[in-house]
Amino acid sequence: MIWHDNREFMEALRASGDLVVIDEEVSWDLELGAISRLACERDAQAIWFTRIADYPAEHSVFVNPLATWRRVAISLGLKPDASVKEIYREYERREQKLIPPIEVETGPCKEVVLRGDQVDVFQLPSPMLHEGDGGRYLGTWDLVVSQDPETKWTNWGIYRFMVHGPKTLTGFPRPTSHLGKIFREQFLSKGKPMPIAIAIGADPLCHLAAAATVALGTDEAELAGGMRGAPVELVRCETNHLLVPANAEIVLEAEILPDRVSLEGPYGEYPGYRTGEMGNGILCRVNAITHRRRPILTVDATGYKDDSTTITSMSGALSIKRRLARHGIEAADVYVPAEAAVHAAVIAVEKGGPEVCRKIVEILTSRRALLSKIFVVETDVDPFNMEAVMHAFATQCHPGRGIHVVHYEGGANTLTPCYSQDERLAKRGATVGFDCTWPPSWSREWDVPVRATFNCMFPQAVQQRVLQKWRSYGFKDPTVKEARTAKPDDAVAPR
């Protein structure tokens, strides 16, 4: 399935029951944010607000496009009830088949073009998402295009942008981010403004690609093509050389000023907390706004269980898997649980032990460290089954010798809520690895205890007979997982 634009995807969500349309007038000042935040926390549908207070009828807001695994599955053309593991597998399969974009002369994002005195970002219904935010945030579910002037590498990323004035925005790209790196090394050091384009409301797989954890130099437009199975159509901006998705709802053409800063934040971020105080952010001058007729502003109601907990965690897990492989550790599976706010990961290996756990933590903290907790399990524990993971953690992780901590400075995730202000300023932090595996020296036959579970303590013949008769016993649902011989891509029942 190829979604040509955001609107096709919205119709698909409506058809599957995964979109709520609110026609009642809603205030952009906190009310929209409160509804959207509660929807995230309750795993509810995406929301289309069709009437925004103080704005004409042609403006509307679409919130939480990919904040549940059902919607991620639909975006990939899978069945809505596809498992998280199936979604991970499909993403990994498509991610390996990059398809270059194509440039077109024009597109729907050019239906209305505003320049000069016509530019006023307050004409767009940017919401005040959380009480205590530094201002109204226009850029939350966006796709920010930038380019390295020397290598011509084009980067897409999702970065937050706060409304500062009619023609200005402030943002917070972390210095370690790809956008931050290009700005710092290629423009700030030379005193030059940096052209960017903020595309809002492209098709969902373009935003998925923009949020992906990929290596420096990766062309996210090609990744989006691989996700879609067809090239992304791009159109050139009006006031700079950058190319943006032709079917985007809204495009802001801007430049980051090298000699100006402005206050930005605080903001309720993806870890689930308002992180940081108002501080200096980059200042962007908006030179043009182009948009579709009746533009739909797309928004991620950031906080606990927002869009990043699905799409960023999925690409991040694959990135971890490949990074470990480059250093000689073959992970059978990596899972970044949505509930962990991209701060924890579960890594399954064929054979664990303290040295393996220690090496995993060292590898994943050698540069910048986004994770602060890592659970290492063996392949007899399904990392996607958090009940099994917590059981392994509680029963197999030795409290004295099963915990491995690595401290670092300069590469910590400054949005980690448990870090002090001093730690954030110094980018100083730590990552702990929990070795939830049996000691390698233990005999699997004599030393490792047998789990007291249905799958492990009964003969296959008895298991099959019970499973076959499960409903006839009077049970409403087959809550016991089917016993079977494990295959490489199957979840393996705990031993």
CATH of the domain at 395: 3.40.1670.10
**Residue whose token pair is 């928004």:** 299
> For residue 179, how many other CB atoms are within 10 A of its CB?
23
Residues forming beta bridges with residue 8, ordered by sequence position: none
- Domain boundary, last residue among 417, 435, 453: 435
Strand (E) positions, 172-249? 194-200, 233-236, 243-245
Is the bond preceding residue 266 a cis peptide, omega within 30 degrees?
A: yes
Q: Are residues 160 and 280 in the same domain?
A: yes
Q: How far is CA 337 from CA 48, 123, 267, 346, in A?
A: 27, 38, 23, 8
Q: Whole-model pTM above 0.85?
A: yes
Residue type, position 489, single letter: D
Query: How many domains is the chain built from?
Result: 2
With a CB cutoff of 8 Å and minimum separation 6, the contacts of 224 are 101, 156, 205, 206, 208, 209, 210, 232
Domain that holds residue 371: 327-435
469 inside domain: no
Beta pairing class for 250-264 and 279-291:
antiparallel
Same domain, 168 and 234: yes
Pairing mode, strands 60-63 and 296-299: parallel
76/134 same-domain check: yes
207 in a structural domain = yes
Q: Report the distance separating Cα 126 and Cα 27, nearest Å.
A: 11
**Domain for residue 219, yes or no?**
yes
Q: Is the Cβ–Cβ distance between 313 and 362 less than 8 Å?
A: no
Asked if residue 350 and residue 295 are part of one domain, the reply reads: no
Strand segments, DSSP code E, in 102-159 are 102-103, 112-115, 137-139, 142-147, 154-157
358 and 292 fall within a common domain:
no
For residue 451, is it within any domain? no
Final residue before a domain boundary, out of 404, 435, 466: 435
Dist. CA 19–CA 34, nearest whole Å: 17
Q: Are residues 120 and 189 in the same domain?
A: yes
In a domain, 305, yes or no: no
What number of residues does the chain have? 495
Q: Which of these, 307, 353, 302, 24, lies nearest to 172 by C-alpha position?
A: 302
Residue 348 belongs to a domain: yes
Instruction: Look up the CATH number of the domain holding residue 102.
Output: 2.30.110.10
Strand partners, 233: 102
Domain boundary among 393, 413, 435: 435
Q: Identify whether 459 is part of a domain.
A: no
Residue 307 lies in a domain: no
List per-residue pLDDT tens for the chain, 495 residues long.
678 999 999 999 999 999 999 999 999 999 999 999 999 999 999 999 999 999 999 999 999 999 999 999 999 999 999 999 999 999 999 999 999 999 999 999 999 999 999 999 999 999 999 999 999 999 999 999 999 999 999 999 999 999 999 999 999 887 778 898 899 999 998 999 999 999 999 999 999 999 998 888 889 999 999 999 999 999 999 999 999 999 999 999 999 999 998 989 899 998 888 876 667 889 999 999 999 999 999 999 999 999 988 988 899 999 999 999 999 999 999 999 988 989 999 999 999 999 999 999 999 999 878 899 999 999 999 999 999 999 999 999 999 999 999 999 988 988 899 999 899 889 999 999 999 999 999 998 899 999 999 989 999 999 999 999 999 999 977 554 433 333 334 433 333
Please report how the helices 84-95 and 308-326 are oriented relative to each other, as an axis angle in degrees rounded to 10: 60
Question: What is the spatial distance between Cα 16 and Cα 11, in angstroms, rounded to a whole number?
Answer: 9
